[in-house]
């Protein structure tokens, strides 16, 4: 698969990383400058050879007129766009575009960093591998497929436990996630003489057991990298190739995407898919249709429900088990997806700095928000859910 790499700014970042402790340097780097795509290569995910075109709804309602209440205050749609630093926003109703917004210099062809929405894409591919029989059960041990995972805290951990962020491995999400990036960058520029590859990070001896798998929720991005290792062994191909073959092509994705890779061309799966707003919206629409898209069942219906709702799998973590910094109790956690509390059975894909795909199946509505929200991430993520529900209600 073709690899693209932009070396501009790379020397500056790697020089900084080489002269200061990696974790300290990473954590003090302003988020607006933390752009891994300028220092690491990306693999291309080709556009589908039979692309789907999203049609625009005739005479759609003007959602800029939507108002809602958040923290006891009346809010407007345009206030949210401004305060949440929204780059692109798209709303689908019944699979048709009812609103599309791109703030300059972003356009409909801009490839937006997914951040942790990449986790929901990974979950989707696990569901497809289950349907194909490459993975026999969601309750299978991952080390059954990649025995190397038996050498650290992932020993005996099942796909389901890792997807639900309950693997039990010792991991500090903030510090360890940043050090992962800079170790991989260091490995890339030293040609393996220092730092670590993604595979080495997932197989590291420091990932010791911290609690019994399945007994508690702890968000740890390294779970996604372990899932990827087992998935790749199960399906017999690289993650980016499986993504292209089993999701991008059958969905009819009209735009080429990219995925960040390391020196060994191993894909990042806890983050770092780069796709257009339209592609993210189509991905959400597939989930709004219980895995059905482009005339076929791409993801098993049962898996979609289990991955995204409390009713589908009662062992999914309720919002009270998933503490948020802003104190909100609306987002639980399923199979790398965020089920939402309430009777709607809606759910969201979410990434740091304000990335989200809010799926409301009962109202057949999908709301995509892509932002550079570096200042108020927790609150705006909660507010985005309230806004998404208000939009869905307004479009009824």
- Is the Cβ–Cβ distance between 231 and 182 less than 8 Å? no
Question: Token pair for residue 292?
Answer: 């059905």
- pLDDT tops 60 at residue 238: yes
Neighbours of 314 (CB within 10 A): 9
Amino acid 8: pLDDT: 39
- pLDDT tops 60 at residue 9: no
The secondary structure of 24-71 as a DSSP string is HHHHHS-GGG--GGGTS-EEEEPPPTT---PPBPSS---GGG-EEEET
The pLDDT tens digits for 261-300 are: 999 999 999 999 999 999 999 999 999 999 999 999 999 9
Amino acid 33: pLDDT: 76
Amino acid 12: pLDDT: 42
Cα 246 to its chain centre, rounded Å, is 17
Q: What is the mean pLDDT of residues 26-48?
A: 86
- pLDDT tops 70 at residue 108: yes
For the chain, the average pLDDT equals 93
- pLDDT tops 70 at residue 152: yes
Instruction: Identify which has the larger pLDDT, 248 or 376.
Output: 248
Q: Which CATH number fits domain 3-25+34-394: 3.40.710.10, 3.30.460.10, 3.40.630.10, 3.40.50.20?
A: 3.40.710.10
Q: What's the length of the chain?
A: 396
Q: Residue 29 — pLDDT band, cuts 50, 70, 90?
A: low
For the chain, give the percent of residues with pLDDT over 70: 92
Of 172, 207, 160, nearest in space to 333 by CA: 160
Q: What is the mean pLDDT of residues 157-181?
A: 96
Amino acid 7: pLDDT: 41
Amino acid 229: pLDDT: 98
Q: What is the mean pLDDT of residues 9-35?
A: 53
Measured between alpha carbons, how far is 156 from 149 in angstroms, rounded to an integer?
Answer: 8
**Terminal-to-terminal C-alpha distance of the chain:** 43
Amino acid 17: pLDDT: 45
Q: Residue 27 — pLDDT band, cuts 50, 70, 90?
A: low
The pLDDT tens digits for 74-89 are: 999 999 999 999 999 9
User: Max alpha carbon distance in the chain (Å)?
Assistant: 60
Amino acid 28: pLDDT: 61
Q: Residue 163 — pLDDT band, cuts 50, 70, 90?
A: very high
For the chain, give the percent of residues with pLDDT over 90: 88
Pairing of strands 86-93, 96-102: antiparallel
Q: Residue 32 — pLDDT band, cuts 50, 70, 90?
A: confident
Q: Residue 170 — pLDDT band, cuts 50, 70, 90?
A: very high
- pLDDT tops 80 at residue 156: yes
Amino acid 13: pLDDT: 46
Amino acid 328: pLDDT: 86
253 upstream amide cis, omega within 30 of 0: no
Residue 258: CB partners within 8 Å, gap ≥ 6? 4, 37, 42, 43, 44, 45, 111, 273, 274, 275
Amino acid 61: pLDDT: 96
Among the listed ranges 11-20, 115-124, 384-393, which one has the minimum average pLDDT value? 11-20
Spell out the domain ranges in the chain: 3-25+34-394
Amino acid 55: pLDDT: 96
Amino acid 382: pLDDT: 93
Instruction: Identify which has the larger pLDDT, 114 or 376.
Output: 114
Measured between alpha carbons, how far is 144 from 162 in angstroms, rounded to an integer?
Answer: 14
- pLDDT tops 90 at residue 21: no
Amino acid 225: pLDDT: 98
Question: Token pair for residue 28?
Answer: 């003090």
Amino acid 271: pLDDT: 98
* Residue pointed to by tokens 């703030």: 103
Q: What is the mean pLDDT of residues 90-109?
A: 98
């Amino acid at each position: 698969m073709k690899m693209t790499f932009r070396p501009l700014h790379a020397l500056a970042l790697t020089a900084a990383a080489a002269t200061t402790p990696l974790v300290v340097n990473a954590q003090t780097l302003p988020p607006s400058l933390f752009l891994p795509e300028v220092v690491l290569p990306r693999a291309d995910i080709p556009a589908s050879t039979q692309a789907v075109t999203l049609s625009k709804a005739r005479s759609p309602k003007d959602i800029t007129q939507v108002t809602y209440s958040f923290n006891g205050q009346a809010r407007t749609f345009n206030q949210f766009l401004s305060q949440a630093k929204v780059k692109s926003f798209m709303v689908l109703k019944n699979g048709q575009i009812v609103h599309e917004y791109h703030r300059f210099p972003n356009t409909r062809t801009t490839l937006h960093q997914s951040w942790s929405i990449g986790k929901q894409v990974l979950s989707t591919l696990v569901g497809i591998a289950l349907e194909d029989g490459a993975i026999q059960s969601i309750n299978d041990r991952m080390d059954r497929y990649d025995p190397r995972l038996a050498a650290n805290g992932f020993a005996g951990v099942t796909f389901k436990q890792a997807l639900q962020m309950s693997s039990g491995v010792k991991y500090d999400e903030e510090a360890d996630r940043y050090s992962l990036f800079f170790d991989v960058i260091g490995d890339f520029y030293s040609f393996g003489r220092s730092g670590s590859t993604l595979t080495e990070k997932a197989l590291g001896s420091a990932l010791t057991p911290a609690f019994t798998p399945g007994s508690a929720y702890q968000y740890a991005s390294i779970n996604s990298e372990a899932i990827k290792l087992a998935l790749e062994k199960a399906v017999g191909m690289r993650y980016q190739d499986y993504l292209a073959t089993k999701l991008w092509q059958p969905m009819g994705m009209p735009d080429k995407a990219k995925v960040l890779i390391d020196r060994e061309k191993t894909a990042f799966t806890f983050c770092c898919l780069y796709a257009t707003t339209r592609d993210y919206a189509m991905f959400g629409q597939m989930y709004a249709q219980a895995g059905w898209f482009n005339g076929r069942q791409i993801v098993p219906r049962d898996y979609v429900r289990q991955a995204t709702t409390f009713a589908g799998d009662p062992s999914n973590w309720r919002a009270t088990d998933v503490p948020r910094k802003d104190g909100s109790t609306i987002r639980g956690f399923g199979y790398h997806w965020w089920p939402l509390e309430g009777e709607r059975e809606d759910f969201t894909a979410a990434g740091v700095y304000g990335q989200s795909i809010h799926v409301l199946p009962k109202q057949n509505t999908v709301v995509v928000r892509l932002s550079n929200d570096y200042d108020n991430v927790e609150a705006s993520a909660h507010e985005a859910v309230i806004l998404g529900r208000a939009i869905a209600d307004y479009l009824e």
